[in-house]
A and B are shown apart, each in its own frame.
Chain A
Amino acid sequence: MQWEPVIGLEVHVQLATKSKIFSGASPAFGGAPNAQACPVDLGLPGVLPVLNAEAVRMAVMFGLAINATIYPYSIFDRKNYFYPDLPKGYQISQFDHPIVGPGTLTIQMENGDTHIIRITRAHLEEDAGKSLHTAYAGMTGIDLNRTGTPLLEVVSEPDLRSPAQAVAYFKQLHALVRYLKICDGNLAEGSMRCDANVSVRPLGATELGERSEIKNINSFRFVEKAIQFEIERQIDILESGGKVKRDTRLYDSERNETRSMRSKELSDDYRYFPDPDLLPVRLTLEFIAAVKASLPELPQARKARFTTELKLSDYDAAWLTNDPAVADYFEAVLATAHDAKLTANWIMGDASAALHRDDLEWTDCPVPATELGQLIARINDNTISSKLAKTVFEALWTKEGTVDEIIDARGLRQLSDSGALRGIIEKIMMDNPDQVAQYRAGKDRVLGFFVGQVMKATQGKANPGQVNELLLDSLKREKGSEE
């Protein structure tokens, strides 16, 4: 039987606010345990939550970016359960009345296919703390620094049909929240975490199969692998005549398998009810309009602009627009370089490789965009060869000076004096009569040998196009003069 996977994702996006969602403490990652937990985060007797307006603004931004309904009236509820990393015994979340209603996100697959994925809702909530099971022998430590970190939980419809689509969706969300600057997108630090609801059904069926939920997947690769594993596990069960049990599972990346955490046959009763400590959130149309006006160009619009206006390929445009920092750098380089394709090649090639080599972010790139732009411009105006441009780039990387200073200081200016080049070519031809004969006998490949010799004689400074032209001319003339 042919099986069809049906996948929905719930993605927790950690909002990049300066303070927590209901307290003034910092949500920054990595502090000493409990150093960033104030009485409100600790849930001490008498404390009260106060909503961070910035978290609301960010949620609205996200909603507008996915063309979602923004509800002018939303409510915070208490989700009640006991757990040591949940100091109040309830999590403040949104249940019946989320801030963001239905919207859509378009994903593009590598083969160019696009799919519109429906987003059911997005709601604000506070994160819980962390239990540290390994730090103390026989005991569990509780770190409440993460408690109260603002999260936007983005819930998709079960519209995804393959692990690859799920990854594409997760990546598209990742790009979007970084464009909106509402999340730092740092998956390793848990800034985006994903729960996947997975079921399978016979291809063509309309009813959904029983699903399992895989919790807390925090990398693109693991989303793909965990879902793939889960699909296969469920198909195995169904094909051997069994039934999939509804449960909550954890993905073990070391063993590449999912394991049941708890059965969901008895559904949890979280006793949701409106938090009486918080007023309903009321948004005016003016506020929503002002947030809308502040939206930056979004990834898909930018990509479309790169393919239509800059004539870049789909692949290049996608590569460059995925991360707003890359796209910003690209456009800044382009402003000086005036050559989109060459700029794209430099960024996707040398610049990307060098950053990767030195483990740097695009925003920390040591080569200013104007200099890389100037370098590309110097290639195009024949001041330097593409080959020597790489040398200039490395010198820019170590901050030896500006492009023009480096070219002059290192004497890298391209040799374009045709008289001088002719002299060099003639000498090389004289020194290598065998190769000249071979060329004449029709071995065109020997041209490469001559180019190499000229470059060697000029320390790479000769203009390669000009060298080619002059060599062809000289070799032909030699040929002609003998005839």
Chain B
Amino acid sequence: MNEFATIGELARGLRQGDYSSVELIRHYLARIDANSTLNTFITVAEDEALNAAASADQAFERGEAGPLTGIPLAHKDIFCTQGIATTCGSRILENWIAPYDATVVDRLAHAGAVLLGKTNMDEFAMGSSNENSYFGAALNPWDSSRVPGGSSGGSAAAVAAGLTPVATGTDTGGSIRQPAAFCGVAGIKPTYGRVSRYGMAAFASSLDQAGVFGHDAQDLAVVLSIMSGFDPRDSTSSDRADSWLTGVSESGLKPNDEGLTIGLPSEYFKDLNEGATLLQAAAKEFENAGCRLTQISLPHTDAAIPAYYIIAGAEASTNLARYDGVHFGYRCENPKSLEDLYQRSRSEGFGIEVKRRILTGTYALSVGYFDAYYLKAQKLRRLIQQDFLSAFEEVDLILAPTTPGVAFHTGDLTDDPVAMYQQDIFTIPASLAGLPALSLPCGFTGGLPIGMQLIGPHFSERRLLETSALYQQNTDWHQRHPEVA
């Protein structure tokens, strides 16, 4: 069995009876176990997975199998799963079990997918290296002395290491795209509103968006097609029903041959060292495939990081108020008073980065600072959105680096939060604008993968994925895999 098979290949294997779903799941569970030092999973749901696989096999027998029946996947541990722990990478939810399934979890389960377990992540999705996980960082399968990126580092590393063919993630400022780039896999953050946020523990509600990791564009499209769509439980979910998306698992993704105009934003390339030549080669690849390249400018790019850390912090400071030791989750020992219960439960339950963001966010919303910080950040956010809208009057897609460089070493940036925040400089602008964006592997530097980012107009996932399919048709970076156990 190909350890790095796509779900298309696995579905064929299941259909043809090359293996049963139970056999397939046992295979992946064994791989997870063999690679446990990568620490990609917080919880492995072995019993539940084998039960679900047995049901999938019965569905095949009854001839009722759908596109994902019997296909293994993993969920970032931020999606609520009924009966299986949901920790958000935090001590404060260490033993918390959700009484309900997130919409994403529910839809994928209904499509027959088998949940292997819950993947490691930076606490409450706050981080770019996975080092903020209470359960210890996941490691990069290409070099275990390096970080897999964050916050969805566990999902990216698990897909890269062949421990699951696909995995979900969430992206608030780059938490899917950056780890995808660091781990050499594909990862898409859809348009804000494309996928329901119901059941996804909130970090920054106006930015959080669920997405998926996989090896190729087709896998991303198939999983996305099932995750997407209006959810009456999420007022911010879009009620668009794109027929290509709902039909993509049958029809397959067609490599884009429209001769698109692709914009290269000068602000993203000006200081780029590592990977610059690989990005240029990727651009050339598109040109060779009939696309037109053009330089563009996104003048407010520099404002993105400060605006983002104000807005995301502000929202996080209130989203995380519910973790107070009263109703659920971690509670300190022997509280002396209500105040003491709040203070110690939260002080002991949250990690340092979460506290830092709660404090900055609280500050930004306080009387006397609200206008100077929160309102100003919202103005900057609109300017950044406007940059993109203007650019998309000229170009169909934007090609940019995903990260400033390759995966850094564990511990390199932990003492310098601002340098850590700079890691997200190329992914945050699209998040602030609510745009769909994905990262694809586009080469290697010193044996480490480099990612390129494609950013499209709102709800242009089809164009993004078909353009990715075009690239992957002509290149084989996505078929390079790390050596793992």
Binding site for B on A (CB under 8 A): 39, 42-51, 78, 80, 82, 84, 87-90, 142, 267, 269, 271-273, 275-279
Are B86 and A45 in touch, CB under 8 angstroms? Answer: yes
Q: Is B235 an interface residue (CB 8 A)?
A: yes
Name A271's contact: one of B79, B80, B206, B318 (CB within 8 Å): B318
Query: Which chain A residue has the least Cβ–Cβ distance from B90?
Result: A45
Are A46 and B236 in touch, CB under 8 angstroms? Answer: no
A296 to chain B, nearest CB (A): 31
Report, nearest first, the 8 A-B pairs whose CB atoms are least far apart. A89-B321, A276-B206, A271-B365, A276-B205, A45-B201, A46-B199, A46-B80, A43-B322
Q: Is B1 an interface residue (CB 8 A)?
A: no
B342 to chain A, nearest CB (A): 6
User: How long is the Cα–Cα vector from A279 to B328 in the complex, in angstroms?
Assistant: 28
A84 to chain B, nearest CB (A): 5
Are B321 and A88 in touch, CB under 8 angstroms? Answer: yes
Point out the residues of chain A lying under 8 angstroms from B370, CB to CB.
271, 273
Point out the residues of chain A lying under 8 angstroms from B204, CB to CB.
276
Give residues of chain B (356-373) contacting chain A, Cβ–Cβ below 8 Å. 362, 365-367, 370
Q: Is B324 an interface residue (CB 8 A)?
A: yes
Point out the residues of chain A lying under 8 angstroms from B342, CB to CB.
82
User: How long is the Cα–Cα vector from A39 to B97 in the complex, in angstroms?
Assistant: 13
User: How long is the Cα–Cα vector from A80 to B319 in the complex, in angstroms?
Assistant: 10
Q: Is B233 an interface residue (CB 8 A)?
A: yes
Are A49 and B235 in touch, CB under 8 angstroms? Answer: yes
Are B235 and A87 in touch, CB under 8 angstroms? Answer: no
User: How long is the Cα–Cα vector from A356 to B93 in the complex, in angstroms?
Assistant: 55
User: How long is the Cα–Cα vector from A275 to B315 in the complex, in angstroms?
Assistant: 9
Are A50 and B362 in touch, CB under 8 angstroms? Answer: no
Are A50 and B232 in touch, CB under 8 angstroms? Answer: yes
Point out the residues of chain A lying under 8 angstroms from B65, CB to CB.
none
Are B235 and A48 in touch, CB under 8 angstroms? Answer: yes
State which of B98-106, B248-256, B264-272, B399-407 sits at the interface with chain A: B98-106
Are B338 and A46 in touch, CB under 8 angstroms? Answer: no
A71 to chain B, nearest CB (A): 19
Point out the residues of chain A lying under 8 angstroms from B98, CB to CB.
44-46
Are B327 and A42 in touch, CB under 8 angstroms? Answer: yes
Give residues of chain B (89-120) contacting chain A, Cβ–Cβ below 8 Å. 93, 96, 98-100, 102
Are A84 and B235 in touch, CB under 8 angstroms? Answer: no
A-B contact pairs, 17 of them (CB 8 A): A44-B100, A44-B322, A45-B80, A45-B88, A45-B322, A46-B80, A46-B102, A46-B202, A48-B197, A80-B318, A80-B365, A82-B342, A87-B327, A271-B318, A273-B365, A273-B374, A277-B202
Name B318's contact: one of A46, A78, A142 (CB within 8 Å): A78
A475 to chain B, nearest CB (A): 84
Among B93, B322, B328, chain A packs the most CB atoms within 10 A around the CB of: B322
User: How long is the Cα–Cα vector from A78 to B99 in the complex, in angstroms?
Assistant: 25
Query: Which chain B residue has the least Cβ–Cβ distance from A76?
Result: B235
Point out the residues of chain B lying under 8 angstroms from A48, CB to CB.
197-198, 233-236
Point out the residues of chain B lying under 8 angstroms from A50, CB to CB.
232-235
Among A39, A45, A269, chain B packs the most CB atoms within 10 A around the CB of: A45
Point out the residues of chain A lying under 8 angstroms from B86, CB to CB.
45
Point out the residues of chain B lying under 8 angstroms from A44, CB to CB.
80, 98-100, 322, 328
Query: Which chain A residue has the least Cβ–Cβ distance from B198?
Result: A48
B428 to chain A, nearest CB (A): 17
Query: Which chain B residue has the least Cβ–Cβ distance from A269?
Result: B367
Point out the residues of chain B lying under 8 angstroms from A87, CB to CB.
322, 326-327
Name B235's contact: one of A51, A90, A142, A271 (CB within 8 Å): A51
User: How long is the Cα–Cα vector from A88 to B374 in the complex, in angstroms?
Assistant: 21
Point out the residues of chain A lying under 8 angstroms from B234, CB to CB.
48, 50
Among A49, A51, A271, A278, chain B packs the most CB atoms within 10 A around the CB of: A271
Are B366 and A276 in touch, CB under 8 angstroms? Answer: no
Q: Is B50 an interface residue (CB 8 A)?
A: no
Point out the residues of chain B lying under 8 angstroms from A278, CB to CB.
235
User: How long is the Cα–Cα vector from A82 to B342 in the complex, in angstroms?
Assistant: 9
Are B324 and A279 in touch, CB under 8 angstroms? Answer: no
User: How long is the Cα–Cα vector from A114 to B367 in the complex, in angstroms?
Assistant: 41
Name A47's contact: one of B198, B320, B321, B365 (CB within 8 Å): B198
Are A90 and B80 in touch, CB under 8 angstroms? Answer: no
Are A269 and B366 in touch, CB under 8 angstroms? Answer: yes
Among B86, B98, B321, chain A packs the most CB atoms within 10 A around the CB of: B321
Query: Which chain B residue has the least Cβ–Cβ distance from A78?
Result: B318
Give residues of chain B (282-327) contacting chain A, Cβ–Cβ below 8 Å. 314-315, 317-318, 320-322, 324, 326-327
User: How long is the Cα–Cα vector from A146 to B99 in the complex, in angstroms?
Assistant: 21
Are A279 and B236 in touch, CB under 8 angstroms? Answer: yes
Query: Which chain A residue has the least Cβ–Cβ distance from B200?
Result: A46
Are B327 and A45 in touch, CB under 8 angstroms? Answer: no
Point out the residues of chain A lying under 8 angstroms from B201, CB to CB.
45-46
Query: Which chain A residue has the least Cβ–Cβ distance from B105?
Result: A46
Give 10 new A-B contacts, CB below 8 A, not counting A45-B322, A272-B365, A276-B204. Answer: A42-B327, A43-B322, A46-B197, A50-B234, A84-B326, A89-B320, A90-B321, A276-B206, A279-B235, A279-B236
Name A45's contact: one of B96, B232, B314, B324 (CB within 8 Å): B96
User: How long is the Cα–Cα vector from A273 to B375 in the complex, in angstroms?
Assistant: 10
User: How long is the Cα–Cα vector from A84 to B197 in the complex, in angstroms?
Assistant: 26
Name B324's contact: one of A39, A42, A89, A267 (CB within 8 Å): A89
Are B206 and A142 in touch, CB under 8 angstroms? Answer: no
A75 to chain B, nearest CB (A): 13
User: How long is the Cα–Cα vector from A42 to B236 in the complex, in angstroms?
Assistant: 20
User: How long is the Cα–Cα vector from A471 to B320 in the complex, in angstroms?
Assistant: 89
Point out the residues of chain B lying under 8 angstroms from A88, CB to CB.
321-322
Are B338 and A45 in touch, CB under 8 angstroms? Answer: no
A392 to chain B, nearest CB (A): 56
- In the complex where A42-B327, A45-B96, A279-B235 touch, is A82 in contact with B200 (Cβ < 8 A)? no
Among A44, A90, A279, chain B packs the most CB atoms within 10 A around the CB of: A44
Query: Which chain B residue has the least Cβ–Cβ distance from A80?
Result: B318
A288 to chain B, nearest CB (A): 21
Point out the residues of chain A lying under 8 angstroms from B93, CB to CB.
45
Point out the residues of chain B lying under 8 angstroms from A271, CB to CB.
317-318, 362, 365-367, 370
Are B235 and A277 in touch, CB under 8 angstroms? Answer: yes
Point out the residues of chain A lying under 8 angstroms from B362, CB to CB.
271
Point out the residues of chain B lying under 8 angstroms from A267, CB to CB.
367
Query: Which chain A residue has the least Cβ–Cβ distance from B205?
Result: A276
Bitwise interface map of B from 61 to 92 toward A, beta carbon under 8 Å scored 1, else 0: 00000000000000000011000001010000
User: How long is the Cα–Cα vector from A381 to B86 in the complex, in angstroms?
Assistant: 79
User: How long is the Cα–Cα vector from A385 to B102 in the complex, in angstroms?
Assistant: 73
User: How long is the Cα–Cα vector from A87 to B320 in the complex, in angstroms?
Assistant: 11
Are A43 and B327 in touch, CB under 8 angstroms? Answer: yes
User: How long is the Cα–Cα vector from A383 to B178 in the complex, in angstroms?
Assistant: 93
Name A84's contact: one of B232, B338, B374 (CB within 8 Å): B338
B81 to chain A, nearest CB (A): 10
Give residues of chain B (368-399) contacting chain A, Cβ–Cβ below 8 Å. 370, 374
User: How long is the Cα–Cα vector from A50 to B317 in the complex, in angstroms?
Assistant: 21
B84 to chain A, nearest CB (A): 14
User: How long is the Cα–Cα vector from A269 to B367 in the complex, in angstroms?
Assistant: 6
Among B326, B362, B366, B367, chain A packs the most CB atoms within 10 A around the CB of: B326
Name B327's contact: one of A46, A78, A90, A142 (CB within 8 Å): A142
User: How long is the Cα–Cα vector from A456 to B264 in the complex, in angstroms?
Assistant: 110
Query: Which chain A residue has the least Cβ–Cβ distance from B197?
Result: A48
Point out the residues of chain B lying under 8 angstroms from A272, CB to CB.
365
A310 to chain B, nearest CB (A): 49
Give residues of chain B (116-150) contacting chain A, Cβ–Cβ below 8 Å. none
B339 to chain A, nearest CB (A): 9
User: How long is the Cα–Cα vector from A90 to B100 in the complex, in angstroms?
Assistant: 22
A132 to chain B, nearest CB (A): 14
- In the complex where A49-B235, A84-B338, A88-B322 touch, is A273 in contact with B199 (Cβ < 8 A)? no
Point out the residues of chain A lying under 8 angstroms from B327, CB to CB.
42-43, 87, 142
User: How long is the Cα–Cα vector from A269 to B362 in the complex, in angstroms?
Assistant: 10
- In the complex where A45-B93, A269-B366, A269-B367 touch, is A82 in contact with B324 (Cβ < 8 A)? yes
User: How long is the Cα–Cα vector from A43 to B321 in the complex, in angstroms?
Assistant: 10
User: How long is the Cα–Cα vector from A449 to B314 in the complex, in angstroms?
Assistant: 88
